[in-house]
Amino acid sequence: MHVASSGRVWPAIVTSKSRERMNGTISWVSSPLTCQIQVSGPSHVRFMQGLCSNDVVQTAIGVSCEAYIPSVQGKTLAHGFLEKYDDRIVFLGLGQQSEALLPHLQKYSMIEDVEVTDQSDTKNAIFIWGEDATAWLKEKLEVSDLPDLLQHRSVSWEGATIEIFRTPILQEDSYELSGPNVESLVQGIEPSAEAFEQKRIAGCFPIHGIDIGSEHLAQEVNRDDTAISFKKGCYLGQETVARIDAMGHVNKKLVAVHWLSEPVPEELPAAIVVDGKEVGRLTSLACIDGQYWGLAMIRRGLNVVGTRIDSENGSLEVANYSS
């Protein structure tokens, strides 16, 4: 590490040869976190605590938590991350979630001292991942460290403020960077939408509106450990979430699957039909290392890892995929 005479800490010197090697291991796309809604005002923490499945009160400033925004019935109105700042909370979600989430938040904001702002159409962000993503970003941004997992931080770059969020969406280091002209960071590197989809499916991370929707109960999404606090106080939809937790199961769950036969479904979602009855729906599918892996919402009794399903449109096995 080099310390400049001004006292600024610079990352270790990166040669042109090592920089070229790192560029080859970096992938990026326009940020898939396309839904961004800010809640600000004196009551912003209390407001969101009463509307989400995770504990934002216990979440530290500068840290994010994964959460559902349930409907009154406990259905998954929205799913994403809640970034906590000292004066606001920002919801970030994959997929187009604003149409349902914005009026929901606005409805309840009428009885709280908060302001709800949809920033989805004005945000400018990219999503970066790769073997050397952390080292590459440090060198690009001229910083000595980056946020830890689920943390977010602002840095100054070329006279502008860049927001960095380290995400758990993929099974490797991945960051969303938002701010003016952030695309210039990846100038000369082609975007990799197909690679992102492969990595997302390998990490079993759902997109609202594709793999999950407002018709699904929170526990059907199968992210209880990361998106639900069973210790926090009351929130909208909690009664249903708590009742399912007491029952110990839901009737279907989103799981990883290995598609075993040819041809693979040409259109998604694709019904998984056995003996004339639909037992699930394949929602995402990608070819990874020559084999097809996907995400599917499958009925209880057939969604245990290792279960083989011979359906009318092909054979598949419930998997525990890890890239």
Domains of the chain in start order, with CATH, are: 18-214 (3.30.1360.120), 215-319 (2.40.30.110)
Q: Which residues of 285-294 are buried (b: 16+ CB within 10 A; e: fewer)?
A: bbebeeebbb
Distances (CA, A) of 191 to 195, 197, 210, 245: 9, 12, 22, 41
Q: Which residues are annotated as a binding site for substrate?
A: 176
pLDDT tens sequence across 58-101: 999 999 999 999 999 999 999 999 999 999 999 999 999 999 99
- The pLDDT assigned to 321 comes to 63
Longest dimension (CA), the chain: 74
Q: Which residues are annotated as a binding site?
A: 176
Predicted TM-score (pTM) of the model is: 0.91
Q: Check pLDDT > 50 for residue 2.
A: no
> Average pLDDT in the 126-137 region?
95
The DSSP result for 216-270, as a single string, is SBGGGG--HHHH--SSS---TTHHHHHHHHHHT--SEEEEEEEE-SSSPPSSSSE
pLDDT tens sequence across 173-198: 999 999 999 999 999 999 999 999 99
Q: Check pLDDT > 90 for residue 120.
A: yes
Residue 293: which of 255, 240, 237 has the closest Cα?
Answer: 255
Residue 247's pLDDT band (cuts 50, 70, 90): confident
Residue 127: which of 135, 118, 137 has the closest Cα?
Answer: 137
| Token output for 140 | 């690009």
Residue type, 305: V
Q: How far apart are the first and last CA of the chain?
A: 32
The DSSP result for 38-49, as a single string, is EEESTTHHHHHH
| Token output for 266 | 């040409």
pLDDT tens sequence across 271-300: 999 999 999 999 999 999 999 999 999 999
Residue type, 2: H
| Token output for 186 | 């990846």
**CA–CA separation, 278 and 231 (whole Å):** 36
Residue 12's pLDDT band (cuts 50, 70, 90): very low
